[in-house]
């Protein structure tokens, strides 16, 4: 009986080895090599030297099935049009990274119905037609990164119909594209959004900020908003954002060349669920009115992480803070402090 069990185990082992090739499925290894030759990613010319395709650079497999679950193709993609049919052999493919290429559109039959994340940043999807071509046939998509694609005037009309094509979208990143108020209003249909990234998108007027406020009033599930890197120093940003009661994370990091004095109008006490707040580099102490208002802030009771570096704040400000798990006060005007705080870049007086 024992010998029979050993024999069966050995047969199953041989069967597994026949189906797989060093940890990855044989047919998916062949599909990867075929994809490499068609897409023209010369960077991956060494793939053939290794048997286990799950160990190849840019490839991650499902640990349970051995199937390819994630592909990262970047830099050397030579095709202008990505054919989704080239990826149809990867049944468990969930995450696809196609970045830093010259992609201007996508083709390919039924798309990728199981794909959940598409990172297609730093390409040239700058028209409505090109964007739609790469998002059609992705009904399971939850996360979409379209960073730095050079959006133009025709791009701004595409997002309204896309909301019905991508009903499960939870994360949208369209940073490093110059936006208009029209594109902001067209995002209102993405009611499942939990995270919205709008870094360095040229938002610099009250018209834009009112558009942000109107948009966020429609996105009831929004938990994270990133407006970093926008010139907001002449906008009433506080009034626009104070009504975001469900927000958990707010990023308003402004670069040192931008002096945002109206950010002190933000009544963050109304953001009752806020856990993370990044006000880095806003120079809150640059205006007399600003420093008076910042000391009057009523911090949300759930706030856990706070970034206030590069704001010229003094140690008097610390008296109003409590209950934080992370506090970054680097590059301010703090004196006489030491311990588990990030206070690098300050002049610290010796305690003795």
**CATH 3.80.10.10 domain residues, the chain:** 21-193, 221-352
pLDDT in tens, 139-158: 999 999 999 999 876 676 77
Phi and psi angles of residue 267, each rounded to the nearest 5 degrees, phi first? -90, 85
Q: In which element (H, E) is residue 249 found?
A: strand 249-251
**Can you tell me whether residue 132 is helix, strand or coil?**
helix
The yes-or-no verdict on residue 105 having pLDDT over 90 is: yes
Q: Is the pLDDT of residue 13 over 50?
A: no
Helix (H, G, I), strand (E, B) or coil at 54: helix
- Comparing CA positions, the residue from 87, 92, 57, 86 lying closest to residue 72 is 57
At 197, the pLDDT band (50, 70, 90 cuts) reads: very high
- The percent of residues in the chain predicted with pLDDT above 70, rounded, is 68
Q: pLDDT tens across 3-12, in order?
A: 555 555 554 5
Task: Please state the rounded mean pLDDT for residues 119-144.
Answer: 92
Comparing 15 with 281, the larger pLDDT belongs to 281
Superfamily name with CATH number, domain 221-352: Ribonuclease Inhibitor (3.80.10.10)
Residue 120: which of 79, 152, 157 has the closest Cα? 79
Contact of 263 with 238, CB cutoff 8 Å: yes
Q: What percent of the chain has pLDDT over 90?
A: 27
Strand-strand pairing, 117-119 and 143-145: parallel
- pTM value is 0.82
Q: Give the lowest-confidence range in 121-125, 273-277, 300-304.
A: 300-304
What average pLDDT score do residues 122-149 get?
93
Average pLDDT taken over every residue of the chain: 77
Give tens-digit pLDDT for 70-85. 999 877 677 889 999 9
Select the CATH number that applies to the domain covering 21-193 from these four: 3.30.110.30, 3.30.70.1350, 3.30.530.20, 3.80.10.10: 3.80.10.10
**Contact call for residues 220 and 247 (beta carbons, < 8 A):** no
pLDDT of residue 195 exceeding 70, the answer is yes
346 pLDDT exceeds 60? no
Choice between 17 and 98, residue whose per-residue pLDDT is larger: 98
Q: CA 197, CA 214: separation in Å to the nearest integer?
A: 16
């Amino acid at each position: 009986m024992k010998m029979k069990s050993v024999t069966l185990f050995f047969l199953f082992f041989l069967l597994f080895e026949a189906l797989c090739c060093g940890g990855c499925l044989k047919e998916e290894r062949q599909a990867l090599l075929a994809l490499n030759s068609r897409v023209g990613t010369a960077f991956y010319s060494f793939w053939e030297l290794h048997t286990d395709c799950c160990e190849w650079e840019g490839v991650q497999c499902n640990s349970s099935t051995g199937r390819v679950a994630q592909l990262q193709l970047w830099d050397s993609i030579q095709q202008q049009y990505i054919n989704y049919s080239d990826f149809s052999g990867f049944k468990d493919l969930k995450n696809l990274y196609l970045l830093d290429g010259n992609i201007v559109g996508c083709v390919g039959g039924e798309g990728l119905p199981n794909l959940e994340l598409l990172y297609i940043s730093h390409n040239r999807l700058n028209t409505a037609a090109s964007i739609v071509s790469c998002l059609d046939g992705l009904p399971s998509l939850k996360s979409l990164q379209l960073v730095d694609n050079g959006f133009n005037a025709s791009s701004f009309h595409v997002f309204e119909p896309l909301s019905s094509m991508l009903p499960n979208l939870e994360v949208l990143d369209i940073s490093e594209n110059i936006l208009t108020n029209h594109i902001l209003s067209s995002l209102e249909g993405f009611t499942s959004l939990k995270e919205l990234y709008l870094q360095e998108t040229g938002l610099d007027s009250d018209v834009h900020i009112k558009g942000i406020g109107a948009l966020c009033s429609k996105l009831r599930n929004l938990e994270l908003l990133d407006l970093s890197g926008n010139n907001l120093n002449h906008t009433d940003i506080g009034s626009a954002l104070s009504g975001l009661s469900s927000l958990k994370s707010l990023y308003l990091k402004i670069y040192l060349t931008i002096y945002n004095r109206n950010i002190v109008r933000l009544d963050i006490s109304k953001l009752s669920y806020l856990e993370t707040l990044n006000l880095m580099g806003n120079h809150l102490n640059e205006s007399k009115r600003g420093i008076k208002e910042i000391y009057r802030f009523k911090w949300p009771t759930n706030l856990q992480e706070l970034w206030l570096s590069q704001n010229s704040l003094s140690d008097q400000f610390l008296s109003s803070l409590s209950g934080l798990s992370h506090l970054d006060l680097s590059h301010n005007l703090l004196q006489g402090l030491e311990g588990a705080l990030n206070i690098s870049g300050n002049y610290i007086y010796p305690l003795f």
